[in-house]
Amino acid sequence: MTASPGEDPDLALLVRVGRGDAEAARAMVARKLPRLLALATRMLGDAAEAEDVAQESFVRLWRQAARWRPGAARFDTWLHRVALNLCYDRLRRRREIVVETVPDRPDPGPAPDAGLDEADAASRVAAALQALPERQREAIVLAYYQELSNIEAANAMDISVEALESLLSRARRKLRTLLEENDDAR
């Protein structure tokens, strides 16, 4: 079943989840989990933390499903916002941790046995993405990795489309600079 342009494509499934339909819950997880994991992994740079964020996002989905009222935002936009907020909570906690010694930093270069240029490029892009300011990273992840439209990404970030486009422009310039610096250092 295809949703009409103004209709939320997740609404029917969400209503079933709200009624406690286990099959609908499994279908919702199958539909949303890959994108939530990708979003959280890119925001946090840690697969285990990303799994925790995805799990907590689904817990909040189950709690909200029966009370969901369509209108203000699409369900997918709301779920992305929940995941982003959970990512930000984790990023804030990271900054608050005081350690007596600086931990060893992993070598950002490819492993000696990694001869694939693609893996190296993906690693460099991931490192550059992690170096972006949080709001710029969020805009890039939503627009390019999560493939949300500018309107959807702006709604998820609770900003105007113009503000999103400005963030994207600054983020692309910063990524280009970071990747060029990385190339020069090689």
Buried residues in 103-134 as b, exposed as e (16+ CB within 10 A): eeeeeeebeeeeeeeeeeeebbeeebbeebee
pLDDT digits (tens, 9 = 90+) for 83-99: 999 999 998 887 765 56
**Above pLDDT 90, what percent of the chain?**
46
How far is Cα 36 from Cα 59, in angstroms, rounded to an integer? Answer: 13
pTM of the entire structure? 0.60
pLDDT at position 1 over 60: no
Which tens digit of pLDDT belongs to each residue from 102-145?
A: 667 776 665 555 555 677 777 888 888 999 999 999 999 999 88
pLDDT of residue 125: 85
Q: Average pLDDT of 64-70?
A: 81
pLDDT above 60 for 153:
yes
Q: What is the DSSP string of 106-169?
A: PP-SPPTT---HHHHHHHHHHHHHHHS-HHHHHHHIIIIIS---HHHHHHHHTS-HHHHHHHHH
Q: Which of 14, 54, 26 is nearest to 38 (CA)?
A: 54
State the chain's mean pLDDT as an integer: 84
Which residues have CB under 8 Å from 6's CB, separation 6+? none
The confidence score (pLDDT) of residue 155 equals 92
pLDDT of residue 109: 65
Q: Does 185 have pLDDT greater than 50? A: yes
Indicate the pLDDT class of residue 100, thresholds 50, 70 and 90.
low
Domains with residue ranges and CATH for the chain: 7-98 (1.10.1740.10), 107-186 (1.10.10.10)
pLDDT of residue 6: 59
- Per-residue pLDDT at 71: 74
